Structure 1
């Protein structure tokens, strides 16, 4: 446990679950303010546990659903950090264990884990990967009579299948949702291959293809909070590259680090779409990167060293989450030969929201910002 400094920078390890020495903790999601992290780790008794981490409270298991083998894994967290989503075993054991989507909440007086369930008609198997503010909308994949299918769940309408793109084998997955729950992205199957899709209530699911030049193999991983920017991994004539896609400009390949093997992927993006993090390669191997339009792709290790941070024995291999303002980043890497999760403070952000009162970075000061203010009113800040 540690206290984040008011200014400056640093590199920290998230630690181990319940005294485990397995060195297996995967940080997968970060709240918008950078103060809550969710993921999966191995506990001392060998079970796989979803975890919640905070700077003051450290790392702790959030448990699992009742029934069946003990197992849980967290894949995403809501923008304000009170909702964690993932998968857990609800019934059965071993080869017959049924893993289904869950929602874990710390929003009210009672902390609880709720089984979202699965789509009707298929095998009982689902997972949730992302949630909007306060968990009002959750997205992921279930199994319907058609096959693996993207779903949208809401606290009002329940579980809804989202279909698939036309052509190809029926298979779709929703990977992220905008802060207000109105925009969803994912990937689906067509005759050409795997494509990026974007969904709104007005348009439904619309496919947007892939980067130009290679096989159609597009894996979207994250959506900006304002719903304007999707990031992921696409196929080009020379390899697989991280991409940025926007409503106005379409696909843009982000390249790779010097000396790399043309294998990069973008895993998260800030609320306004301006800063992207992920995994790239250089002559040595995998490296965590940060990207923006001014500086292009940079190794996070180099950025920390330039700011005077002693990174010790760390080799930062992948960045999986970034805070709204681009200050805090999480990821995985090697520390003295052990695979560990890390948390980096890159220092005071270069810019804040362009609109005064715009707390969630969507360029509008509205009721969502007021809700965020009231929810966090009285909290201590760095």
Structure 2
């Protein structure tokens, strides 16, 4: 079981909705220096000021986690030690925290949490998995991260959602199979669930890190 995000050769644009005129404008957010001209936006803060993205660069030909604040250029955030690539998959409502995956040379992945103050911190793996995890969304204060990871269930490696906190590390939900956290809206962090049907939201976690159930 591997959690990877692929990207085609493209450059992302920010869509700004003008509610009164019912029109939309597109803004190119650019790319990192030295890459192959692709950028994919994967998350945006609640006020629209911070964008989390994947962009090719000198450092990582196939992709490096990056962010943009306001009108600045994209800024790369690197990868975990001994890793070669990374991907930013989500950003907190305030734009302070970015989460995603860092990729080892052998294509194993590890979820991370990043801020300008702390740098990139690896979140580890679930017990019994094959060293594959990705963080998809993060609470407003950065203390709760949710995502998908491989774990062992009935003797098999399966995908499972996880909830990470600084005190408890990654905690799996072993009652659900083949689920992966998908994202959030201003109220919830949610996941999608595959069991022979289309993806659907099955659980949600409020941005304050609570455990109330809900649907997106």
Same fold (TM over 0.5): yes
1:359-374 matches, cutoff 5 A: none
1:176-216 deviation per Cα after TM superposition (whole angstroms, max 9, x unaligned) = 35657xx5422224466654302466676xxxxxxxxxxxx
Distance 1:50 1:186 in 2: 22
Confirm or deny that 1:158 pairs with 2:164.
no
Is the CA contact 2:44–2:91 (under 8 Å) kept in the aligned structure 1? yes
How many residues are treated as equivalent by the alignment? 186
Matches within 5 A, 1:136-175: 136-146=143-153, 147-165=158-176, 170-175=177-182
* 8 Å Cα contact 1:164/1:172 also seen in 2: no
Task: Answer whether contact 2:129 2:152 (CA < 8 A) is retained.
Answer: yes
The 3 A distance-change label for structure 1 pair 19 and 191 is closer
Supply the RMSD in Å over aligned alpha carbons: 2.7
Q: 1:158 Cα shift?
A: 1.7
Q: Distance in 2 between matches of 1:79 and 1:123?
A: 31
What SS is found at the alignment partner of 1:17? coil
Q: How does 1:81-230 map to 2 (within 5 A)?
A: 81-89=95-103, 91=104, 93=105, 96-106=106-116, 110-146=117-153, 147-165=158-176, 170-177=177-184, 183-190=188-195, 194-199=199-204, 230=216
The SS at the match of 1:117 is coil
Structure 1 pair 26–191 and aligned structure 2 pair: CA distance change class (3 A)? closer
Normalized per residue, the structure richer in helix is 1
Q: Which runs of 5+ in 1 are unaligned?
A: 1-6, 205-226, 231-382
Deviation at 1:100, TM superposition (A): 0.8
Corresponding residue number in structure 2 for 1:347: none
Corresponding residue for 1:15? 30
Q: Note if 1:80 corresponds to 2:94.
A: yes
After superposition, the Cα gap between the structure-2 partners of 1:47 and 1:161, relative to the gap in structure 1 and judged at 3 Å, is same
Q: Residues 158 and 10 from structure 1, CA distance in 2 versus in 1: closer, same or farther, beyond 3 angstroms? A: same
Q: How far apart are 1:155 and its partner, in Å? A: 2.3
Give, in angstroms, the shift of residue 141 of structure 1: 0.5
3-state DSSP class of the match of 1:38? strand
Unpaired segments ≥5 residues, structure 2: 1-17
TM norm structure 2: 0.75
1:32–1:184 CA distance, 2 compared to 1 (3 A):
closer
Per the TM alignment, residue 58 of structure 1 is displaced from its structure 2 partner at its CA by 1.4
Match of 1:285 in 2: none
For 2:136 and 2:52, locate their aligned partners in 1 and report how far apart those are by CA, in whole Å.
11
Give the 3 Å change call, closer, same or farther, for CA 64–192 of structure 1 in structure 2.
Answer: closer
Secondary structure of 1:136's aligned partner:
coil
* 1:31–1:192 CA distance, 2 compared to 1 (3 A): closer
Distance 2:196 2:72 in 1: 49
**Alpha-carbon distance, 1:12 to partner:** 2.3
The answer to whether the 8 A contact 2:34-2:56 is kept is no
Task: Provide the rounded CA distance (Å) in 1 between the counterparts of 2:197 and 2:87.
Answer: 32
Distance 1:79 1:148, change over 3 A: same
